[in-house]
Amino acid sequence: MAEYSFPTVQTVETGDNVLFTNGYRCCKKGYVQHRDSSGIFTLKGAGCKALYRVQFNANIAIATGGTVEPISVAISLDGETLNNAEAIVTPAAIGDFFNVSIATYIEVPCGCCVTISVENTSDTTDIDVVNANLIIDRVA
C-alpha cells in the first residue's frame, strides 16, 4: 500500500492534475513511482499482471474568480478520464467546500506500466483542493 497527500490548499486549473507529495507511506518497492509534488503516478505490473485499488479523497470548492457551476474531479488512466471514477458537486457559492471520494480498480498487464492522475474535469472552472489524499493498494 502507498499513500500520498497534499494537505494545504492548491488551485487546480481545468484539465490539470491535483498534486501530491511523497510522505512516509509512499511506495518503497518500486511498484508505484511518483515524483514529489507531481500529479502523475506510474503503476508497474512487476513481471506479471497486477490489480490496484486506487482511492482519492479531498475537499473541493470553486476557486476565487470562478463561476458558480458544477465542479468535478476524476481519476484518469493514461490521460483518459475514467467515467466510473468521477465526483461531481454543485456548490452554492465560491469557496463552499464539498468532501468527495472516488475509487476504482486499475489492471496493469504483464510487463507493462500505466499512468494515473486525479484531474480537474470541471467544464470551465478552476477549483481549490485541500486535504487531497490518494491511496494506491496493490490487491493482486
Given the C-alpha cell 479531498, which residue does it identify? 58
pLDDT of residue 121: 98
How far is it, in rounded angstroms, from Cα 67 to Cα 110? 44
pLDDT of residue 48: 80
The pLDDT tens digits of the residues spanning 81-120 come to 999 999 999 999 999 999 999 999 999 998 889 999 999 9
How far is it, in rounded angstroms, from Cα 117 to Cα 120? 10
pLDDT of residue 30: 84
How far is it, in rounded angstroms, from Cα 12 to Cα 72? 11
The pLDDT tens digits of the residues spanning 53-86 come to 999 999 999 999 999 999 999 999 999 999 999 9
pLDDT of residue 26: 84
Q: What is the pTM of this model?
A: 0.94
